[in-house]
Amino acid sequence: MRGLAVLIMIECHAFNSFVRMDLRVGGPYNLSQFVGGMAAPLFLFMAGMTLAFLMDGLERREALRRRRWLIALRRAGYVLGIAFLFRFTNWAASMPHADWHELTKVDILNCMGLGMAAISVAAVFDARGRVLFALAAGLAIAAAAPVVTNLPWGGTPALIQEYLVPGPGRGRFPFFPTASYLGFGLAAGTVVKRAAAERVERIMQWAMLIGFGLVFGGQYFANMGYTFYSKSDFWRDSPMLILMRVGITLLLLAGSFLWTEYCVGAGWSWMQSMGRNSLMVYWVHVMLVYGNLAKPLKRALTIPQAGTATVLVTAMMVALSALWQWWKARRAGKRLAATSVSGGAARAIKVV
């Protein structure tokens, strides 16, 4: 599923960087960005799921609730550190025309780290409490977004606005409402992690049913013409859009399970390879697509040419992921062989 998010992300960024400006009014480009809009929800949802796996392990190992919370908070700090390092490398790569604003730009990793820090308190609860807390947090963040957006933010520092508030000229991945996907992912991850192996398929069936319900229910209420909010922008801060995207994510989760369980063999998978190395692929492809290396192609290609570029970038990222996994496996094999040799020598000395 994370590999699918990577694929959608590459397509979105490649078209955004390469397509000519006069071709950005038509359907193909708009469709590429519409589909690409699911990349961030997928990444954040999956980050919530992996955070749930961490918290489940902490509940089994750590009796102290405060200790569990601090470890989860440390994971959020790690993600934020990676986010700032990513921004620094982008800034350095743009030398000698570097803009210091690049260092403070709020990207998806920044939102992910801040959101994980906010919901890390879920680690103090048991499994049932975590599910309820995560669902409540996701709904609260989504529901508060239109209210927060229309608060008087005029005198607030721009960086705080970028981190918190959606709107024109502000951050693309603000806490409200984007971090809500982390809450829903945390709830889903806790349910999946706690389920017995024979019940996972039933859970995926429920995920599909709930997904369809959220998609069609969100669409119905979004088109009602009645709202509790004095002002709301569907594409920026609408809770209905969040619920619809969560529904799509649950459908993709069930589809990914079916594909992995019944359609793919036990061998190597290019999609899983990219998913396992998603952070590296994210890092490298952004520098490749938006960096100085691709400058002659930026805003210079037709739709078919941008599609070809997307395929080429994807192929390079698959090759990079495969090479990285091969190198890690080789290094692990050498380490295991060295450990076995040293262990055998130690046993021989002991016998003598």
Kindly give the confidence (pLDDT) of every residue in the chain, 352 residues in length, as a single tens digit, with 9 standing for 90 and above.
999 999 999 999 999 999 999 999 878 999 999 999 999 999 999 999 999 999 999 999 999 999 999 999 999 999 999 999 998 988 887 777 777 777 888 999 999 999 999 999 999 999 999 999 999 999 999 999 999 999 998 888 988 989 998 766 555 799 999 999 999 999 999 999 999 999 999 999 999 999 999 999 999 999 987 888 888 889 899 999 999 999 999 999 999 999 988 887 778 889 999 999 999 999 999 989 988 888 899 999 999 999 999 999 999 999 999 999 999 989 888 888 887 666 665 565 665 5
What CA–CA distance (Å, rounded) separates 252 from 208?
A: 8
Taking a C-beta distance cutoff of 8 angstroms, is the pair 234, 142 a contact?
no
Q: How far is CA 127 from CA 52, 138, 225, 346, in A?
A: 9, 16, 38, 45
**Closest of 258, 159, 168 to residue 211, by C-alpha:** 258
CA pseudo-torsion sign 88, 90, 95, 101: negative
Structure tokens at 43: 């990444």
What integer pLDDT is reported at residue 155 of this predicted model?
A: 85
- Omega cis (within 30) before 96: yes
Structure tokens at 272: 């899983």
What CA–CA distance (Å, rounded) separates 209 from 213?
A: 6
What CA–CA distance (Å, rounded) separates 185 from 202?
A: 18
What CA–CA distance (Å, rounded) separates 174 from 163?
A: 5
What integer pLDDT is reported at residue 264 of this predicted model?
A: 79
Give residue 256's identity as a one-letter amino acid code: S
Taking a C-beta distance cutoff of 8 angstroms, is the pair 44, 178 a contact?
yes
What integer pLDDT is reported at residue 333 of this predicted model?
A: 87
**Closest of 161, 160, 218 to residue 184, by C-alpha:** 218
What integer pLDDT is reported at residue 338 of this predicted model?
A: 80
What integer pLDDT is reported at residue 182 of this predicted model?
A: 98
What integer pLDDT is reported at residue 118 of this predicted model?
A: 97
What CA–CA distance (Å, rounded) separates 329 from 336?
A: 10
Q: Where are the domains of the chain?
A: 2-351
What CA–CA distance (Å, rounded) separates 142 from 140?
A: 5
Give residue 158's identity as a one-letter amino acid code: A
What CA–CA distance (Å, rounded) separates 54 from 43?
A: 17
What CA–CA distance (Å, rounded) separates 182 from 136?
A: 12
